Amino acid sequence: MAMKVFGQPMSTNVARVLVCLEEVGAKYEVVPVDFATAEHKSPEHTSRNPFGQVPALQDGDLVLFESRAISRYVLRKNSSELLKEGSLADSARVDVWLEVESHHFDRPMAVIIYQCLVLPVYFGGKTDEKVVEENLETLRKTFQVYEDRLSRSTYLAGDFISLADLSHFPTAYYLLATPHAGMLDEFPRVKAWIDGVLARPAVVKVIEMMKASA
């Protein structure tokens, strides 16, 4: 029976799971969850994700939530090289940079995306430029670390692409859609790395799904 992913592809955390499913060629079905009617807070969905968020994944009688944990499950189930689990050291480096993505990249980026894209486009609100500037400063510090790292290895965890790199794609894609894409010109290696990740066939396919669900 095909796996079910609950949530809309335009959501960065849902897209993170979808790219892993595409990378391993898994059969899956996307089951939209309607935020407009607060379906994500319904008893049915909170039984899948107690925080009332998307994504959730159902694989037979296994139900998971938290996109990075779901991503690891999908890749591990398919013995994907994207986890580098044949090497203790390499797989630990993948974990390190996946944590970095979650705490040092996604955190400021979530605010920048909300302020620059979600608030004006979906709620007709006004971007708080001061809040954006504060989070851009945090993001610059993160990118300084990435720029240095990428001067020593082709990808974040080593000279191999991994989930740590792919996990960045949804939020990086939206950064390019904000008025602040130009900040990447200060970090040429980061910009080239993002361009490479965004050109990956599985990523290109999920970006099409993100656009179609927006």
Ligand X SMILES: N[C@@H](CCC(=O)N[C@@H](CSO)C(=O)NCC(=O)O)C(=O)O
Kindly list the residues in this chain that would bind ligand X in the complex (CB under 6 A).
Answer: 11-13, 40, 52-55, 66-68
The closest residue (CB) to ligand X is 53
**Of 66 and 90, CB closest to ligand X:** 66
Q: How far apart are CA 154 and CA 184, in angstroms?
A: 17
Element housing 62 (H / E): strand 62-65
**Of 40 and 104, CB closest to ligand X:** 40
**Of 13 and 162, CB closest to ligand X:** 13
**Of 40 and 72, CB closest to ligand X:** 40
Sign (positive or negative) of CA dihedral 103, 24, 64, 51: positive
Q: How far apart are CA 42 and CA 58, in angstroms?
A: 17
CB 12, min distance to ligand X, A: 5
The DSSP call for residue 156 is S
CB 159, min distance to ligand X, A: 27
Contact between residue 18 and residue 209 where contact means Cβ atoms under 8 Å apart: yes
CB 87, min distance to ligand X, A: 26
